[in-house]
Amino acid sequence: MTNAARATTQVRALRAGIERDRQALGSLFTDDVRAWTPALSTSSLNELIAELDRRDDAFSDMDLEVLPLDVGGDHACAEWTVGMTHTGKITLSGDETIEPSGIRVTLHGITVAEFQGDRICSLRQYWDEFALFEQLTR
């Protein structure tokens, strides 16, 4: 698989995650995919889909911009920016919540994917959760 093909697959996977597109996720990830983000850790495709299904609907009107970066071997890396509107309640630890504000926020992050053939077998995403909350509480 070429670097360009890995980059295309990674971009498709990021969009499928935001859109909760189960069919696309199933075709882009291996059944035993391991995924880690600041918000979740999974060790299979079924767990990953279940976590995405559990994700609250605190944000809508999401726009994703992705800049694939060239990484060799079986790895691909991409920087991304998600713009989204805070339209639903966010439940924090305990009973604390952040009520919908209508504020448009921007989140910047990076994703590193490892490939097995033409599918992603491992995924790590990094972003600053505090930067998101800072935008919501200004």
Q: Does the pLDDT at position 70 exceed 80?
A: no
**What type of residue sits at position 23?**
Q
Most confident of 68-77, 85-94, 99-108: 99-108
Instruction: Report the pLDDT averaged over residues 75-88.
Output: 95
93: Cα within 13 Å, side-chain hemisphere: 1
| CATH number for position 70 | 3.10.450.50
- Residues 45-75 as b or e (16 or more Cβ within 10 Å = b): beebbebbeeeeebbeeeeeebebeebeeee
Task: Say if pTM beats, i.e. exceeds, 0.85.
Answer: yes
Q: Does the pLDDT at position 82 exceed 80?
A: yes
Q: Does the pLDDT at position 71 exceed 90?
A: no
In a domain, 17, yes or no: yes
The number of beta carbons lying within 10 Å of the beta carbon of residue 15 is 15
The pLDDT score that the predictor gives to residue 107 is 94
Domain extent at residue 15: 3-59+66-82+106-126
Give me 63's structure tokens.
């726009």
In a domain, 131, yes or no: no
pLDDT digits (tens, 9 = 90+) for 105-125: 999 999 999 999 999 999 999
In a domain, 111, yes or no: yes
Instruction: Report the pLDDT averaged over residues 12-39.
Output: 94
In a domain, 91, yes or no: no
In a domain, 132, yes or no: no
Q: To the nearest whole number, what is the mean pLDDT of the chain?
A: 91
The pLDDT score that the predictor gives to residue 53 is 81
Residue 79, phi-psi category: left (phi > 0), alpha (psi -120 to 50), beta (remainder): beta
Cβ atoms of residues 127 and 105 within 8 Å? no
* Alpha-carbon separation of residue 77 from 69, 87, 88, 114, 129 (angstroms): 5, 30, 31, 9, 20
Number of domains in the chain: 1
Please calculate the CA angle 26-22-122 and round it to the nearest 5 degrees.
45
The pLDDT score that the predictor gives to residue 4 is 87
* Alpha-carbon separation of residue 2 from 46, 74, 79 (angstroms): 27, 9, 19
In a domain, 93, yes or no: no
Q: Does the pLDDT at position 16 exceed 90?
A: yes
In a domain, 88, yes or no: no
